[in-house]
Structure 1
C-alpha cells in the first residue's frame, strides 16, 4: 500500500533557490515557450539561467525545460516544438543531435517498491549525432549512443548503443552511420 503523505524531497536537489525557480517558471511560461520568441532569445534565456548551450543550437517554441542549470547542449543541435526536458537531474545532449517534436527526456521517476514513493532519478546522456524522433521518450539513467535513433513513439528505458535504432515496439537493429 502506498503511503503518499510520507513522500518527501529527501535526496533531491533542485540546484537553485526558490526565487530563481520562480523566476525561471515565469520566464518559461510567458516568453520562452511562446511562438513569437526568437530561437536565439530562447538560447540566451537558457544560458542566462545557467544552461551550457553550444553554438548554432535551434530551440523551437513550446519546448519545456524544468531546470536550465541542469542542461548541457552541444553545437548545432535542434530541439523541436513541444519537446519536454524534464530534467530533475542533469541532461547532457551532444552535438548535431535532433530531439524531435513532442519528444520527452525524463530524468525523474519514483521507486514503486517504496511505500513513500520516493524519487528514483538519474541523469540522461544523448551522445553526438543521435536522434530522438517524434514523441519518443527517453527515461532516467539512459544513455543514447553516438548516432543512435530512438524511433517515433518509442520508450527507451535502457541504454541504446551507438548506431542502433529502437522502434516503437521495442525492437532494436543496427543503422548505418549518417553520411
Structure 2
C-alpha cells in the first residue's frame, strides 16, 4: 500500500492507495472477450502496419463496429482501442502514430484532422479513490477542428468547430469553437 499526498484547495490530503482493490466498476468494454481479442490481433498484425493500405483501414474499422464516413484517411501506426466506440464523419484525416484511446466514445466530425502522434484519451481515474476507480468520459472533435501533432485531448473534452489544439498542447477542458490552444493556454 502506498501513501499518496494530494494538494487540494483545503491543503494536503493523505490518500492510502490500494490498487489491489480496483474493480473497474461501471466500465463496459462494449463487446465480448472474443471480439476484443480478435480486434487486438487484427490491430497488431494488420491494421497498424505500413504495408496495409490506408484506404482499407476504414472498412476494417467498420467490420468491428465503427461508424466511419466517406473519404476518411487513416495512416499507418494509428491505434484505436475499441472500434465500436468510434464515430468518424466524412473527409477526416488521422495521421501516423495517432492513438485513439477510446474506453468511451470518440466522435470526430467531418473535415477534422487528428495529426501525427496525437492522443485522444477518454480514460482516467478518480484521484481521490483509494482503489483508483475509472473516471472516463467521451471526447468530441467537432467538424473542421484540428488536433495537431503530439497534442493531447483528455476525457470529457469537446474540441469546438474549427478550433485548433496546437502541437504538443493539452486540451484538458472544452475548447471553444474557433479557439486555438497552445502550450496549455487558450488564445
Residue 136 of structure 1 pairs with residue 151 of structure 2: yes
Residue 62 of structure 1 pairs with residue 77 of structure 2: yes
Partner of 2:49: 34
Unmatched tracts of structure 2, length 5 or more: 1-15
Partner of 2:138: 123
Per the alignment, in what secondary structure is the counterpart of residue 141 of structure 1?
Answer: coil
Once the two structures are TM-superposed, the CA of residue 40 in structure 1 deviates from its matched residue by 1.5
Which runs of structure 2 are paired with 1:163-174 in the superposition (5 Å)? 163-168=178-183, 170-173=184-187
Partner of 1:103: 118
User: What per-residue deviation string (whole Å, max 9, x for no partner) do you get for residues 57-116 of structure 1?
Assistant: 000000000000000000000000000000000000000001000000000000010101
Which runs of structure 2 are paired with 1:135-154 in the superposition (5 Å)? 135-154=150-169
After alignment, is 1-10 or 65-74 more displaced? 1-10
**Counterparts of 1:58 and 1:52 in 2: how far apart (Å)?**
14
Once the two structures are TM-superposed, the CA of residue 149 in structure 1 deviates from its matched residue by 0.2
**Counterparts of 2:53 and 2:34 in 1: how far apart (Å)?**
25
Once the two structures are TM-superposed, the CA of residue 9 in structure 1 deviates from its matched residue by 1.8
After alignment, is 72-81 or 36-45 more displaced? 36-45
The runs of 4+ residues in structure 1 deviating greater than 2 Å are none
Q: Which structure shows the bigger proportion of residues in strand conformation? A: 2
State the TM-score, normalized to the length of structure 2: 0.91
Partner of 2:13: none
Unmatched tracts of structure 1, length 5 or more: 174-179
**Counterparts of 1:148 and 1:19 in 2: how far apart (Å)?**
39
Per the alignment, in what secondary structure is the counterpart of residue 118 of structure 1?
Answer: coil
**Alignment partner of 2:26 out of 3, 8, 11:** 11
Question: If you compute each CA radius of gyration, which structure gives the higher value, 1 or 2?
Answer: 2
**Counterparts of 2:157 and 2:185 in 1: how far apart (Å)?**
16
Once the two structures are TM-superposed, the CA of residue 171 in structure 1 deviates from its matched residue by 1.8
State the TM-score, normalized to the length of structure 1: 0.95
Partner of 2:93: 78
**Considering only aligned residues, what root-mean-square deviation do their CA atoms show, in Å?**
0.5
